[in-house]
Structure 1
């Protein structure tokens, strides 16, 4: 079951990256929508990762 979920996440990630690439080259509207959603999701993940580190910067010591 876990392999199926991870496979789905991988397919969505690769598909989103392809849409970002295609949208940068003037793809159709639905591709630009998916690309925007992909970039927004990536930004949310980045912000969540930064806030998890705390004020020390997450040195990992």
Structure 2
């Protein structure tokens, strides 16, 4: 089995595929983390805007 060069080619191809899959998973995880950070920043901005609106509404005279 180990004397056949095709065996080495298949093993190298399989290892290359595993490395490619690992790189792809790393990129997906990185993108996911980036999206989560962006969503957290958006949520923080929305909360800040809501607080500002509430402060403005509290300053308005009653009807």
- Shorter-chain TM-score bucket reads 0.3 to 0.5
State the TM-score, normalizing by the size of structure 1: 0.46
State the TM-score, normalizing by the size of structure 2: 0.45
Query: More helix per residue: 1 or 2?
Result: 2
Q: Which has the higher contact order (CA 8 A, sep 6+)?
A: 1
- Structure ID, larger Rg: 2
